[in-house]
Amino acid sequence: MDTKKIDSKIKKYLALAGGITTVVSGANAQVVYTDVNPDYLLSGNLSVYPLDLNNDASPDFMLMNLDTLINYVSTSYSNVVTYNINVDAATINPGASSNGWLQSNSYPAALAQGAMVGSSGSFESSNSSFGYPLAAVLQQSVLYNGVPVYNYSDTIGNFQMDQEAILGLRFKINNNIHYGWARIEYTSGGVLSIKDYAYDATPNTAVIAGETGTGLVSVKENENAVQITNFNNQIQVQLLNELTYAQLKITNLSGQEIFSKDLNSLSETISLDDFATGIYIASVLSNDVLTTKRIYVR
């Protein structure tokens, strides 16, 4: 076996994913959690993100971003009718025919944290040229002999703009069914943000949407017993051991300090709504050990 080629493929995939850290939870739990850090931002027409739940370099689902104008003309007698349809959308396709997603009202379901993903759910697994809409905005105009006569706009899909929600997923590893989830957000600016995902390593075992097992999202955080998460523009810091001192600092990518706070409890939540959109560095200093994580503010 050519391990150099395999290592090269994995490295390329990790670079595409924007830097990911994976943790297998403790002995009694089998949740394998992957934190996309920072969030991967998918934009541009027909751009694709290969969602690889078990990180084996074989994508389980393909997430696609659409930003395109569809134009066609119909001629009847001497009249010319022109249709212009602008499509902004995020879609999903299975990476294999056996893989699928929980659906609701013919579209991929937008799950809240804590929802159950398992065999009792209704899964869709068919393939489409442009994928199945997670969220989409359609704007249509009709011109009759060059004169605008009709304008129409609509949204489709279960995912709301600028709100995080979770995909419930089913896929196979060595012909065994596994269940997982992926947290995403589609912005009104037409950007699909992939935040984190997980699956249960035990075949045919349901998983809870948003479950991370121990909750530890990197080796460094595991050693330091600090968890930093960002959900719906709120950063939560959990100190998993009794610590004598802890301080949170948030800086921009230029190193400018934006926020600082002494942490007086084992779990604290700070709103980021007043921050400008962009990528920041969250750092927690505890017992002279520094834990950092890149976060995306929408």
Boundaries of every domain in the chain: 30-208, 219-297
DSSP, collapsed to helix, strand or coil, labels residue 168 as strand
**Residue 184 CA: distances (Å) to CA of 21, 39, 159, 167:** 17, 9, 9, 8
Q: Which residues of the chain have pLDDT under 50?
A: 1-29, 215-223
In the chain the first and final C-alpha atoms are separated, in Å, by 44
List the structure tokens of 215.
């909750």
* Among 191, 85, 96, CA closest to 135: 191
**Residue 105 CA: distances (Å) to CA of 58, 134, 196, 207:** 29, 12, 25, 22
The pair phi, psi for residue 6, each rounded to 5°, is -65, -45
Per-residue pLDDT, 62: 95
219-297: CATH architecture: Sandwich (2.60)
Amino acid at 218: S
Per-residue pLDDT, 86: 81
To the question of pTM greater than 0.85 for the whole model, the response is no
Per-residue pLDDT, 255: 80
Between CA 93 and CA 82 the distance in angstroms is 31
* Among 137, 181, 188, 190, CA closest to 163: 188
* Other CB atoms within 10 Å distance of the CB of residue 109: 23
**Residue 13 CA: distances (Å) to CA of 4, 17, 58, 59, 60:** 14, 6, 10, 10, 13
**Residue 28 CA: distances (Å) to CA of 33, 54, 98, 202, 266:** 15, 19, 28, 11, 24
Between CA 185 and CA 25 the distance in angstroms is 25
Per-residue pLDDT, 289: 72
Residue with tokens 């442009």: 130
